[in-house]
Chains A and B, each alone.
Chain A
Amino acid sequence: MGNYSFHDLAVGMISRKGYQFTAKRINAFSELVDDAAPVHTNPEFAKQLGFDNTIAHGLFVQSVISGMLGTDIPGPQSVINSLTMNMHLPVLAGQQVDYHIEITSLTAAVSAVSLKYSGTANGKLVISGKALCSFPKHISD
C-alpha cells in the first residue's frame, strides 16, 4: 500500500492490479447495491442476450479503480474528485481484469493528481478512463 504525500508523486508512476470477477462477487455486488438486473445474476438470461455468461456491472468493474486510487497511487491521503468511464467490452463472470493506472500530470498549486486508467481481460481493453484526485487539505466545503 502506498502512503504518499503529494510531493512523493511523479508523472509516470504506475499501479497494477488483477481482479477476478467471479459469479459470487458479481452476485454480492448485485445484492449490495440492490441491482436485480438478471443479466448480472442469471446465466440463462444473459445467454438470451447473447453473452456466454453473466456480466459484471460496469460500475463494479470501475470500482476496483477506486480502491487502487485510495490504497496505492495517489494513496490513502488523497480523495477522488472525478472519474470518467468508458466501457469497451463486457466482463463475463469468471474473467480476470488486469488494471493499469498511471499519473499523467500533477498540479502542485492545488495538490491535484491527474491519472489515466485501463483494464484488460484476455488482452482486450474492457474499461478505460481518467481520474482526478486531490489531497484533502484543499477541500474546505
Chain B
Amino acid sequence: MMKQKIFDQLTPIFQEVLDEPSLVLTETLSAAAVDGWDSLKHITLIVEIEALTGLVLSADELINIQNVGDFVNLLYNRGYRG
C-alpha cells in the first residue's frame, strides 16, 4: 500500500513531464516503452522527483534504474512513504 501511494504521487509527474496525460505507471514501465522519454526528459523526471520527495538522490543510485518499479523501490528504500 505504501508503494502504491508513491506510484500515485509519481503518476502526475510522469504524465506532465512526458506529455502523456493518460500514462499509467506500472512496475515494468521503462523509457523504451514511452515515446519522448529521452535523456533530457529523464533529467526533468529526476528533478521533479527530488522536489516531490525532498530526497537528494545520487548518480550511483540512479545508474541502475531500469523502470518505474526501480524508481519506486529506490524512494521506498530511502525512507520515502508518500
Interface of B is mostly: helix
* A107 within 8 A of partner (CB): yes
Q: Which of B38, B51, B59 has a CB less than 8 Å from the CB of A110?
A: B59
In chain B, residues 11-62, which have Cβ atoms closer than 8 Å to a Cβ of chain A? 38-40, 42-44, 46-47, 50-51, 56-59, 61-62
How many residue pairs link A and B with beta carbons under 8 A? The number is 48
Query: What B residues does A110 contact at CB under 8 A?
Result: 42-43, 46-47, 59, 62
Structural contact, B58 and A141, CB atoms closer than 8 A: no
Structural contact, B44 and A109, CB atoms closer than 8 A: no
- B residues contacting the other copy or chain, number (CB 8 A): 16
Contacts from A to B (Cβ < 8 Å): 81-82, 105, 107-110, 112, 114, 132, 134, 138-141
Q: List 23 A-B contacts (CB under 8 A).
A: A81-B43, A81-B44, A105-B50, A107-B43, A107-B50, A107-B57, A108-B59, A109-B50, A109-B58, A109-B62, A110-B46, A110-B47, A110-B59, A112-B44, A112-B46, A114-B47, A132-B43, A132-B44, A132-B47, A134-B40, A134-B43, A138-B39, A138-B43
